[in-house]
Structure 1
Amino acid sequence: MTIHKTASILIITVFVFLGCSKSEDSAITDKTPTPTETFGQVKLQITGYSSFGSTPFTLSVLDTNGAMVKSLEDLSAVPEKIELEDGEYTAILESIRPQIITADVNLFKGVSDKFVINGESEISINMTVEKEAFKGWVEVPNVPMDARTGAASFFIDGTIYVGMGYNSARERLNDWWSYSIDNNEWIKLDDFPGEGRTYVTTLSIGSKGYFCMGNTENSENSNLESNELWEFDSQTNVWTKKSDFTGQFRDSPVAIVLDDKAYMGTGINNGITTLSDFYVYDPTVDEWSPVADVIGDPTYGFGAFSLKGNGHLLGGTINSNVRTNQHYVYNQTDNSWEELSPAPGDPRLEGVSFVINDIGYFGLGNIDNNLPASDLWRYDDGQDIWTRVTDFPGPARSTTVFGSNNDLGYYGFGITTIEFNDFYLYYPE
C-alpha cells in the first residue's frame, strides 16, 4: 500500500501597521492593495508592506513543538506561496537586524495565529506585522561639522543641541547645531556669540540649556579659564549671559538638576587642587548659593545623574590620578550627602551618565592607563543593584558628549588618536 502525503499551499495576507503595539493607534502609509496576482487557484493580496522600505526580512514556519519546518532568508518581498504538508503551524515574519542599527532602518515583526493544513488545496491566514521600537544603541547620521573633542551639548524635548569644542587643528570653535529625533536631521544654528571654548559643563532646565565654566584662549592662544554662565533659549535660539559661577574656576566639575535648579561643583583647580565644594543656581532669580560640600575625598571627573529627586555622583578621580568606583547621593531636602555601594565595573573618570524612564545609566569614560571603556550599566535605585546592558558598539573614545531627555540617551564626538563626529542614540532595553 502506498501512502500519499498531501501538500497544501499557504497563502499569507499581511497587514502592516506602523504602531509599536496593538493598543496604539496605527497608520498604514499605503492603504491601496497591490494588484491581485493569480497563480492557478492561488490569490495573494499584500496591503501596506511597502511602508517598511527595503529592509530585508525572514519568513519562518514552525510546527507545534516550535521546530522550524520552513525558513526563507533575506527576503525583500513576501513570497507568492509556501507549500506545507498537513499539520498545525505558526508563521513568523521578522526584519533582519544589522550589526550596527542606524536610524533609517525599519525593524518589524509579525506572528500569525496557529493554522491547520489538512488536505485543502489552499488556505489564507492573516498576520499583523508591526514596527518594533528601537532597543540599545542606534547610530544616526554623522554631525555635518568638524570632528572634535571637548564639545558642549544638552537635550531639550526631542532635540539635541551640540557645538563648540576643539577640532583636529586644536582650534576652539563656537558653532552650534541641533539634531531632531523625529526628523533624523541636523540643522546649523547661529553661532554661540561668545569666544569659542572647550570642556564646558552643561545641563538643561525646561526649554533652556545652560553651560558654565570651560576654557577660552587669550591673545597668546593660551588657555583662559572662564567662570561664565550662559543660557540658551530653545524657543528663540537666543543666548543670554547670566551671573558668573561664584566658586573658584575648575576643570572636570559635575552638574545635576533638581527641582529646576542647577547644582554644580567638585573638580580640579589649576591641575593641582582637587575640590569638594558644591553650589546651587536658581534661574528664576539668577543667583548662586553654596550648599553642603561633597563627602569623601575631594574628587574631579565624577559622572552624575538626577534620579527621583536626588543627585547621584559616580566614579571620578582622587589624589590626582587614582580612579574610583565611589557613589554618593545628595538629598536636597536636608542638604546632605550619603555614600552608597560602589558603582560597577572598572574604576573610571568622567563616565557617561544619564536617566531614561527614571532609571540611571553609567559607564564608558576612562579607566586605568587612560584607556576608554565601552561598558554601560543600568541602576535600580530601589534595590541599589547594577545590571550591565549592551556595550557601546562604536570605537571607544574619551571626552565625549552625552545626555538624555528621560526617553532616550545620546553619545557622540570624542577622541582617541583622532577626533570623531559620529553620533548615537541609546534606547532602553
Structure 2
Amino acid sequence: MAGQNHGQNPEFRGLRQFLNPKNQLTMKKKILFGLSLLALIFYVSCGKDDDPTPDPEVSISSFSPEMGEPDAEVSIIGKNFNTKASANTVKFNGTTATVTSATATQLKTTVPNGATTGKITVTVGSSTATSSSDFTVLEPQPAPQITGFSPPIVTKGDFVTIEGSNFGSDNQQISVYINEVQASIDWFNTAQIKIQVPADATTGKIKVVVGDQTATSSENLIIVFSPSINGFSPKEGEWGTKVVIDGANFSDTGNTVTINGVEAEIVNESSSQIEVNVPENSRTGPIVVSTSYGNSIDSDEDFTVFHGSWTQIADFGGGIRRDATAFVLDGVPYVGLGTGGTLIPDMDFWTYNHESDEWIDLNLDFSGYGHIGNSSFVIGQKAYITPGFLMNTGYGSDFWSFEPLEFTSIIDIFEGIARYNAVAFSIGTKGYYGTGNGEGGVSLKDFWEYNPGTGDWIQKADMGGETDLPRYAAIGVALEEEGKGYVGGGYSVNQNDDHVPVKDFWEYDPNMDSWTRKADIGGLEAPVRASPTAFTIGNKIYVGLGYDDNDNNLYDFWEYDSTTDTWVKVANFPGAPREKAVAFVLDGKAYVGLGYDGDQLSDFWVFDPGN
C-alpha cells in the first residue's frame, strides 16, 4: 500500500471531512435540533387527544341476609363490581368491611366490628352504589357454654340433660350433636337442653351449635349397648350352686348379679359370660345383671332356687334308730323310742344341746312297753305319746303323757282300733290322731280328737271324707295360727288290698270337721312317697324323704304355702336318702335324722330355710 495516492480516494476524503472538528460541531447542532423538533411534535399531538373514558356505574340490587351480627357473612348482588376483591370498597353505614370474594355481579363480605345499622355502599373506582334498604346490625350474642350433662353413661334411646348457658330460644338456630351424630331435641331453654340419644351415636363429646357459635363438652358422653341375657345353666339349684349366665354387652368387670333381689357372688365375669354362686337366703325369681355402667337386664325366665341349707351335727347319742318319736317342750328337744333293728324296742330318751352340739341321755326310760312307729303331739306343757307297735305284745292301746323328767300313764285308753304308723298333731287344746296300720292287718282312715281336759276321745270325720281310701305311713302336721291340720302321702290301700304310695294332701278344719283336698305334695314334679318326714317352721309346711313306688329312698324336700296352695322345692337333704326319719323344730330350724336306708341310721342334720 506504500506509495499509493490516498488523497484521491473518495472514501478517505469523506472520513477526513467527518473527523474535521468544525464539521463535528455542525453535526451535533443538527441532532439537537431534530430531537427538539420531535418533542414538540409529540407534545402537540398529545394535546389534541380526547378526555379519558369514565368508570362503569356500579349498582346494588339486593343483599342477604338483611340482618346479622358482626362477622356474619353478607352476599351483595349487583352490577359492575370489580372481579378483584380488593378493588371493591364495601361499607356498612360508613364502616369499611373486608370483601372475601368478588365477581362482576356478586360480592361476599362480612359485617365489620363497630358497624351500625344503615345503608351498604359499594365503590369501584369513581363509582359508588348505595343500597335502597338498611342492613340491620344485631348485637353479638354471647357464645353458648356447656357446664355439664347427665347421666354420664347412657344407651341408645336414653335421654340426656345438658346444662349450660346462652342456648337461646330459637329452635331454628340450635342443634346438638353427639360425636358428630345429630341428636333430636326434646325441649330446651337458655340454660338446659334435653336430648334423646340416637341409635347410631357412639361415645364422644357433646356439641351444641347456636347459630354460627359452637360449644363442646369437656367430657365424653359414654354410650354403651344394653346388656342381654341369652340363657343360664343350670335352671335350678340350691344355695351355693354355680350358675353360668350367657349374654352380651356385660361389663368386663364390675357387674352385679342378683337372684330375685339377693346379690350373688361373682366367680368369673366377661362381656359375654358371668359365673355366680346362688346366694344364701335367695328365693326363686329372675336373674338380673347390672353392668358397671348402671344399665341392667332381667332374665326372661326365673331361676328356681331350692332354698335352705343343711348342716350336719353330732350323731344321735342313742345310736342307730328308726321309727322313733321327737317333740319339743319349753324349748328343749326330746328324741326317743323306736328300734335299732332288733326285736327289742328302745325305751330311752335323749335331748340335744345345740350350743355345745352334744346329745345328753336323760336316763329316763319310757315307763311302758317299747313302742315302734308311734306318734306324738304337744298340748301346753305336756307331750302325748300315742300307741305304737309293741315288739313283744303286738299292737298297743296305751296312751302316755310326758312332762320334763316324768312319764305318766294316762287312763284315757285310746278308744279306737289299736294301731301304729298313724299320724298325730295338735290344734289349740286338742289332739288329733288317725289312719295307720290297725290290729289284724287292716289299714285305717278313721280320725279321732282327744280332749286332755275331759279325757275324752271323740271320733271325727274320716280322713279325706268318704272319697279317700285308708292309709298308713303318712305325715300329719298342723299350722297353729290357721287352726288347721294337714295329712298326706303314705301308703293307700285299695279294695284289692294293693298298697300304693301316694302323694295326695288334705287339709282338716276342726271347726267344720271337714277335709279338703289340696295340691299334691310337691306338685306334678315330685314323686309319690311313703314313710316321709314332715315339720312346720312359721307358716310353712315341709315334707320330704320317704320312698317311692319303686322302693327308692328319697332325699328331696318341699315347702308348702297354705295361703297359695303351692309347693316349692327346697334344698335336698344331703345325707343318705331314707325313710322313717324323725324331725323337731328349734328356734326356726328343723333337726332331721335317724331313719332307715336298708340299715338303721344315726346321723342328724339341721335345716335352715332362710326365712
Once the two structures are TM-superposed, the CA of residue 181 in structure 1 deviates from its matched residue by 2.8
Which structure 2 residues correspond to residues 217-232 of structure 1 after superposition, within 5 A? 217-218=391-392, 223-232=393-402
Letter of the 2:326 partner, please give it: S
Letter of the 2:520 partner, please give it: P
Q: Quote the Cα distance in structure 2 between the aligned partners of 1:271 and 1:376.
A: 34
Distance 1:271 1:413, change over 3 A: farther
Counterpart position of 1:209: 383
Q: Quote the Cα distance in structure 2 between the aligned partners of 1:414 and 1:268.
A: 19
1:293 to 438, 457, 462: 462
Once the two structures are TM-superposed, the CA of residue 377 in structure 1 deviates from its matched residue by 0.5
Counterpart position of 2:422: 253
Counterpart position of 2:529: 348
What whole-Å deviation, never above 9, does each CA across 1:353-375 have from its counterpart, x for those lacking one?
Answer: 11101111112112113221100
Q: What residue ranges of structure 2 are gaps of 5+ in the alignment? A: 1-251, 258-264, 268-279, 281-306
Distance 1:184 1:158, change over 3 A: farther
Matched, 1:427 2:608: yes
Q: Quote the Cα distance in structure 2 between the aligned partners of 1:348 and 1:135.
A: 21
Which structure 2 residues correspond to residues 7-406 of structure 1 after superposition, within 5 A? 64-65=254-255, 135-189=308-362, 190-218=364-392, 223-234=393-404, 237-242=405-410, 243-270=412-439, 272-294=441-463, 295=465, 296-307=468-479, 308-319=482-493, 320-344=498-522, 345-405=526-586
Q: Quote the Cα distance in structure 2 between the aligned partners of 1:217 and 1:327.
A: 31
User: RCO greater where, 1 or 2, for CA within 8 Å and sep 6 or more?
Assistant: 1
Report which of the two structures shows the higher radius of gyration computed on alpha carbons: 2
Distance 1:406 1:186, change over 3 A: closer
Q: Quote the Cα distance in structure 1 between the aligned partners of 2:450 and 2:587.
A: 22
What whole-Å deviation, never above 9, does each CA across 1:382-405 have from its counterpart, x for those lacking one?
Answer: 111110000000011222112335
Once the two structures are TM-superposed, the CA of residue 171 in structure 1 deviates from its matched residue by 2.4
Alpha-carbon contact 1:158-1:181 (below 8 Å) kept: no
Q: Quote the Cα distance in structure 2 between the aligned partners of 1:217 and 1:382.
A: 42
Scaled by the length of structure 1, the TM-score of the pair is 0.65
Alpha-carbon contact 2:532-2:579 (below 8 Å) kept: no
Q: What residue ranges of structure 1 are gaps of 5+ in the alignment? A: 1-61, 74-96, 98-133
Q: Quote the Cα distance in structure 2 between the aligned partners of 1:283 and 1:251.
A: 21
Once the two structures are TM-superposed, the CA of residue 411 in structure 1 deviates from its matched residue by 1.2
- Aligned residues with identical type, % of pairs: 29
What secondary structure is seen at the aligned counterpart in 1 of 2:472?
coil
What secondary structure is seen at the aligned counterpart in 2 of 1:172?
coil
Alpha-carbon contact 2:417-2:439 (below 8 Å) kept: no
Once the two structures are TM-superposed, the CA of residue 271 in structure 1 deviates from its matched residue by 6.3
Q: Quote the Cα distance in structure 2 between the aligned partners of 1:255 and 1:198.
A: 15
Q: Quote the Cα distance in structure 1 between the aligned partners of 2:311 and 2:329.
A: 19
What secondary structure is seen at the aligned counterpart in 1 of 2:349?
strand
Alpha-carbon contact 1:230-1:241 (below 8 Å) kept: yes
Alpha-carbon contact 1:355-1:405 (below 8 Å) kept: no
Alpha-carbon contact 2:376-2:425 (below 8 Å) kept: no
Letter of the 1:151 partner, please give it: A
Once the two structures are TM-superposed, the CA of residue 406 in structure 1 deviates from its matched residue by 7.2
Q: Quote the Cα distance in structure 2 between the aligned partners of 1:403 and 1:388.
A: 20
What whole-Å deviation, never above 9, does each CA across 1:113-146 have from its counterpart, x for those lacking one?
Answer: xxxxxxxxxxxxxxxxxxxxx9521211112223
Q: Quote the Cα distance in structure 2 between the aligned partners of 1:265 and 1:174.
A: 23
What whole-Å deviation, never above 9, does each CA across 1:324-352 have from its counterpart, x for those lacking one?
Answer: 12111111111111112222211111221
Counterpart position of 1:120: none
**Aligned residue-pair number:** 302
Q: Quote the Cα distance in structure 1 between the aligned partners of 2:579 and 2:607.
A: 18
Alpha-carbon contact 1:158-1:182 (below 8 Å) kept: no
Once the two structures are TM-superposed, the CA of residue 158 in structure 1 deviates from its matched residue by 2.9
Letter of the 1:162 partner, please give it: V
Q: Quote the Cα distance in structure 1 between the aligned partners of 2:358 and 2:323.
A: 22
Distance 1:144 1:63, change over 3 A: same
What secondary structure is seen at the aligned counterpart in 1 of 2:550?
helix
Once the two structures are TM-superposed, the CA of residue 65 in structure 1 deviates from its matched residue by 4.4
Distance 1:180 1:284, change over 3 A: farther
Q: Quote the Cα distance in structure 2 between the aligned partners of 1:280 and 1:191.
A: 28
The 4+ residue runs of structure 1 with deviation greater than 4 A are 62-67
Scaled by the length of structure 2, the TM-score of the pair is 0.47
Counterpart position of 1:128: none
RMSD: 2.7
Give the structure with the higher percent helix.
2
What secondary structure is seen at the aligned counterpart in 2 of 1:161?
strand
Q: Quote the Cα distance in structure 1 between the aligned partners of 2:511 and 2:395.
A: 33
Once the two structures are TM-superposed, the CA of residue 205 in structure 1 deviates from its matched residue by 2.2
